[in-house]
Chains A and B, each alone.
Chain A
Amino acid sequence: MELIRSEDQELIAKTAADFAKERSPVARIRALRDANDPLGYSPALWKEMAELGWIGMVFPESFGGAGLGFAELALVMEELGRTLAPEPFLSTVLLGGQALLLSGDEAKARAWLPRAIAGDAILALAFQEARSRYDLAAVETRAERAGRGFRISGEKIQVLDGHVADAFVVAARSAGGPRDEQGVTLFLVEKGAPGLAVTHQARVDGRNAALVAFEGVEVGAGAVLGAVDAGFALLSRVVDRATVGLAAEMLGGMQQAFALTLDHLKSRQQFGVPIGSFQALKHRAANVYIELELAKSAVMAAARAVDAGAPDLAKLVSLAKARCSDAYLLAANEGVQMFGGVGMTDEYDIGFYLKRARAAELTFGDAAFHRARWAALSGY
């Protein structure tokens, strides 16, 4: 596993960086928020991303994808993360899309992936519940046998891009106790199914999420994704992959937050000199830089581990997410402090990064969660 970008990868990163800068500046996210836009993203821009091949990047060519790897996808996520693009990448490509792909269910994949890859369908993964925090086995939503199929009841929270999803992959308990790994089943439920209620949620980072209530939603046996009672392993694999994508997005965000802060340190004058000449701030800036470099290495390694099917993938995923959680918050917190009074104003962009850093930290497990997971995976 080489930790270096190939020429092709440099080109992908450059294309994504130019696109993010020109087509998706932070001003766009600010405008969407200020307008209280009901979609919260741009379907036109999403279509453009599809045409650039980004949505299908990690899917096989047989589904209309490009057959590239996470090493490449991470570059796009990083650049979009720099300007906080809110398009439904995590939900469609990394959660719903990966669940369909990794399930091995050819018929469902064929029904949904080509449309998703073309930018014509949004996919979501409904797994988180009010009491589950980051435990993927903590599933209380019930799936009871009903005729030849199942009846699903329960509520999922903060389903990413659930407000516009055309199809949901949902984790429900078909057997076992509330925290058992065994007995979790994944289902594919389409938008508009009777008993399905979707409510847009407003989050601190302005990203789109929804409460998704299942009020006795009846599905046939054909809606099961993977095997009955054995959905936990698939869910874990999907969330690990999504975590790599999120970590890459965070890597972009933290670098941009730091770049804004460095500009400010060089231009803001107090006591007749640039505040970046003060050693108290220089050393703290150096600390942020060190953490950014370490986060970059961890994300590169995790993305390559997905592509290589590395045996220590889970540890590298936890490494990347723990580092990015801490480093993004450090960069954003130090940013607000170094901007001083104006850092507290909504007018400056640094606050957007602080909010995204916090939201991303608390998605798919914070740093402490991933340290505990690392310890368990290491046998202590």
Chain B
Amino acid sequence: MSELARFRSDVRAWLEASAPTGLRGRPGSELEGVWGGRQWRWENPDQKLWLERCAERGYTAPTWPREVGGGGLSKEEAKVLAEEMRRLQLPPPVIGFGLTMIGPTLLAFGNEEQKREHLPKICRGEIRWCQGYSEPGAGSDLAGLQTRAAPDGNDFLVNGTKVWTSYADKADWIFALVRTDPQAKKQEGITFLLIDMATPGVSVRPIRLISGSSPFCETHFTNVRVPKKNVVHQVNAGWTVAKALLGHERTMVAEAFGSGGGAGGRRGTLGERAKHHLGSENGRLADPVLRDQLAQLEMDTRAFALTMQRARDAAQAGHQPGPESSIFKVYGTEVNMRRQELLVRIAGPQGLGWEGPGFDPEDLATTRDWLRSRGNSIEGGTSEIQRNVIAKRVLGLPD
């Protein structure tokens, strides 16, 4: 038996013995799940047990080093673990920006003390992180940010406002871009700083979105004292860190949306859902135009999934990431937006509900999801910015 095969049989045995039966068959979606953190309220004891057991073996962050709470697994072993978890349809033990964004960034740019301080808490789901990038005056022109961090002894004094800080009201720490040199060229005066949200002077106001929910917040900093040891990488070198983290963010967003193909919710596939609303004649959707649009959407989704697979296969074989990865954020989000639009159109008048009687809960969710999806091509770098990046970095078009 090869080592990988032995690993697989060990993992399988461990999962069979350790995964709470109440969670099996509940893979969950990317956005529902255990986010962790000090404010987290468990939905059931199984969730807690599952997280504790995984964290003990480092399986919440399988490829991170063991010293910081990870599993120390190779890519191949991590793939086996994911496959075995899928086999039992288990949800991930914990999700969030700690695992997907700041964790990989600290592994690449953090010092030993920062890694030992923050990574184990992410692995155990104890600390929830949020992102402080955009500002009222710095959206696509992110490097134009104005939140000031002025040196004061061993600390910085931080003043300013961040927006689009997703789930800041539920987060314990924030990783933020701050201006430490107002005189330097704008990219060269930025520092990447870790801030405890419990520090005096931090205040958070949730923002109501067009979808009616408030996942985003406005976060204010008024004379917030942050130790200088919380700088990641070097003072005034934060732009390098920021860009690397954006890469992680865009991959995460693309994967979350790109895998949505075929999902029609409780009514099975998109085709089945469409038949439920539109009816069929001789097995074919009664509306030929929506039928064509549905096929287009499914085919776009499949082609996108194949392109992501191509990039993964190349990475697995040890190739450097090819230019194809630059399209993931823009295409993954745009195909998701078209999917949400089509779902509302398929629901027809039943897609107009906001709340209350007379509407199916799934159709109500469709309406809200459609509105929420309009942000996909804005957050994490607009589609326009992504196309600028492709034109410049991949196609070599002149400035």
Chain A positions near chain B (C-beta within 8 angstroms): 2-4, 262, 265-266, 273-274, 276-277, 279, 281-283, 285-287, 289-290, 293-298, 300-301, 318-319, 322-323, 368, 371-372, 374-376, 378-380
Contacts and interface: CB of A to CB of B under 8 A. Distances in A.
Interface in B319-365: 319, 323-324, 327, 330-331
Contacts of B39: none
Interface string B305-324: 01101100110010100011
Contact of B384 (A283, A297, A301, A380): A283
22 contacts: A2-B313, A4-B319, A282-B392, A282-B395, A285-B391, A285-B395, A286-B395, A287-B387, A289-B395, A293-B323, A293-B327, A294-B307, A296-B310, A297-B307, A298-B306, A319-B302, A371-B295, A372-B292, A374-B298, A378-B271, A378-B295, A378-B298
A330 to B, nearest CB: 14
A293 B309 CA distance: 12
Nearest to B309: A3
Interface in B278-320: 280, 283-285, 291-292, 294-296, 298-300, 302-304, 306-307, 309-310, 313-314, 317, 319
B254 to A, nearest CB: 12
Given A4-B310, A276-B397, A289-B327, A294 B391 contact: no
Contacts of B298: 374, 378
Contact of B284 (A4, A277, A375): A375
B184 interface: no
A372 B295 contact: yes
A277 B390 contact: no
A159 to B, nearest CB: 30
A319 B295 CA distance: 10
Contact of A294 (B285, B291, B304, B392): B304
A319 B398 contact: no
Nearest to A373: B295
B388 interface: yes
Nearest to A3: B310
B250 to A, nearest CB: 14
B299 A371 contact: yes
B317 A290 contact: no
Given A283-B391, A289-B394, A298-B306, 18 more contacts: A266-B396, A276-B398, A279-B388, A286-B330, A286-B388, A293-B307, A296-B310, A297-B303, A297-B307, A297-B309, A297-B324, A371-B292, A372-B295, A374-B299, A375-B292, A376-B284, A378-B295, A380-B284
Q: Which of the listed residues B271, B300, B310, B319 has the most CB atoms from chain A within 10 Å of its own CB?
A: B310
A82 to B, nearest CB: 18
A379 B271 CA distance: 7
Contact of A277 (B275, B300, B394, B397): B397
B395 A380 contact: no
A295 B398 CA distance: 26
B295 A294 contact: no
B284 A290 contact: no
Nearest to A379: B271
Contacts of B280: 380
B113 interface: no
A181 B317 CA distance: 45
Interface in B113-139: none
A322 B285 contact: no
Contact of A274 (B300, B324, B398): B398
The 8 A-B residue pairs with the shortest CB-CB distance, nearest first, are A380-B271, A282-B391, A297-B306, A371-B295, A286-B387, A3-B310, A286-B390, A297-B307
A293 B324 contact: yes
Contacts of B294: 375, 380
A290 B329 CA distance: 11
Contacts of A301: 306
Tell me whether chain A's interface is mostly helix, strand or loop, or mixed: helix
A279 B272 CA distance: 42
Given A4-B317, A276-B398, A378-B298, A297 B285 contact: no
Interface in B188-203: none
Q: Which of the listed residues A282, A285, A286, A295 has the most CB atoms from chain B within 10 Å of its own CB?
A: A286
A374 B295 CA distance: 6
B102 interface: no
A78 to B, nearest CB: 15
B176 to A, nearest CB: 30
A297 B398 CA distance: 28
B394 to A, nearest CB: 6
B399 interface: yes
A325 B276 CA distance: 31
A201 to B, nearest CB: 31
A290 B331 contact: yes
Contacts of A273: 398
B295 A3 contact: no
Given A289-B390, A376-B284, A262 B395 contact: yes
B274 interface: yes
Contacts of B307: 293-294, 296-297
Contact of A319 (B299, B330, B386): B299
A7 to B, nearest CB: 10
Contact of A375 (B285, B313, B314): B285
B274 A300 contact: no
Contacts of A298: 302-303, 306
B397 A266 contact: yes
Q: Which of the listed residues A282, A318, A323 has the most CB atoms from chain B within 10 Å of its own CB?
A: A282
A31 to B, nearest CB: 32
A285 B323 CA distance: 14
Nearest to A6: B317
Contacts of B394: 286, 289
A322 B295 CA distance: 11
Contacts of B319: 4
Nearest to A368: B292
B399 A371 contact: no
A3 B271 contact: no
A230 to B, nearest CB: 24
Contacts of A372: 291-292, 295
Nearest to B288: A372
B286 to A, nearest CB: 10
Nearest to A276: B397
Given A266-B396, A300-B310, A371 B296 contact: yes
Contacts of A286: 330, 386-388, 390-391, 394-395
Contacts of B392: 282
A380 B306 contact: no
A287 B272 CA distance: 31
A297 B388 contact: no
B336 to A, nearest CB: 15
Contacts of B330: 286, 290
Nearest to B310: A3
A34 to B, nearest CB: 33
Contacts of A296: 307, 310, 324
